[in-house]
């Protein structure tokens, strides 16, 4: 808890990081340090990587940290139901069920199989219209891949530009996507639109195959961002940072 002191008495004001809503933190000090303190509120963040690189887990870690700070979330998920997402996060010691019960976290599962949409309206337009209608401060979309497979480059760029406009109006938006969803030229343009870009990979470090997060950029970070974070995902613990010396063993 923060301890607020009257400035007129010349006493020191002590404020917890969880009372600072200018930055979205993960709740993990090592991750936040590498991200220059966290992701500034009002940012559009792209979290991209191949299959099984930890995109969803990283996003869930940011959700958990942000909820602890008092941010209100709306999460769109194409890979979980409401029940399975809550259960998955609980299994990683990122229990957010109380926040869900009290309405600080809204979860919107998106299942497109068997659903017919108007042929003349890009599905990305449905998403952005729904996001605009939400009152929540932080929007999570995990993952965008299924919606861009049949979209034109113009539709995709317009979608990210619309998200950026919403961020300029105060929303914080986190989007995960598989790297293969975009060609290299389009991916470069999408990255340039976003304020923050986190690239996840699987890499050989010594004789081990580890997951890594490359902090490519975070505009407005309070401190200098780090380059690469090696991590592993452990049941009942969640995302654990691996020291470089250990990863090389």
Task: Quick: pLDDT tens for 5-47.
Answer: 334 433 323 334 455 789 999 999 888 988 888 999 999 999 9
Confirm whether 130 is domain-assigned: yes
Q: Give the model's pLDDT for residue 95.
A: 97
What size, in residues, is the chain? 249
Q: What mean pLDDT do residues 163-170 have?
A: 97
Confirm whether 7 is domain-assigned: no
Q: Give the model's pLDDT for residue 209.
A: 84
Confirm whether 193 is domain-assigned: yes
Model confidence, pTM: 0.87
Q: Give the model's pLDDT for residue 146.
A: 86
Confirm whether 200 is domain-assigned: yes
CATH of the domain at 71: 3.40.50.300
Boundaries of domain holding 231: 21-247
Instruction: State the total domains in the chain.
Output: 1
Confirm whether 1 is domain-assigned: no
Confirm whether 6 is domain-assigned: no
Confirm whether 60 is domain-assigned: yes
Confirm whether 13 is domain-assigned: no
Q: What mean pLDDT do residues 92-106 have?
A: 97
Q: Which sign does the torsion angle of CA 125, 59, 67, 160 carry?
A: negative
């Amino acid at each position: 808890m923060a301890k607020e002191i009257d400035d007129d008495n010349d006493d020191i004001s002590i404020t917890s990081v969880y009372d600072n809503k200018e930055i979205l933190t993960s709740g993990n000090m090592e991750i936040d340090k590498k991200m220059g303190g966290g992701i500034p509120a009002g940012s559009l963040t792209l979290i991209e990587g191949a299959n099984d690189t930890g995109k969803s887990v990283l996003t869930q870690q940011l959700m958990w940290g942000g909820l602890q700070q008092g941010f209100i979330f709306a999460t769109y998920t194409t890979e979980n139901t409401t029940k399975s997402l809550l259960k998955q996060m609980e299994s990683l010691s990122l229990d957010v069920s109380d926040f869900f019960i009290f309405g600080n976290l809204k979860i919107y599962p998106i299942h497109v199989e068997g659903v017919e949409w108007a042929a003349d309206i890009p599905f990305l337009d449905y998403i952005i219209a729904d996001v605009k209608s939400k009152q929540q401060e932080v929007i999570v979309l995990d993952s965008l891949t299924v919606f861009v497979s049949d979209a034109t480059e113009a539709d995709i760029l317009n979608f990210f530009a619309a998200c950026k406009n919403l961020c300029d109006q105060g929303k914080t938006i986190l989007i995960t996507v598989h790297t293969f969803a975009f060609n290299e030229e389009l991916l470069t343009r999408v990255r340039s639109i976003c304020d923050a870009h986190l690239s996840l990979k699987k890499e050989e470090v010594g004789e081990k195959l580890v997951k890594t997060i490359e902090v490519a950029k975070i505009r407005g970070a309070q401190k200098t961002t780090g380059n690469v974070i090696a991590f592993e995902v452990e049941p009942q613990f969640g995302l654990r940072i691996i020291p470089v010396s250990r990863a090389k063993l």
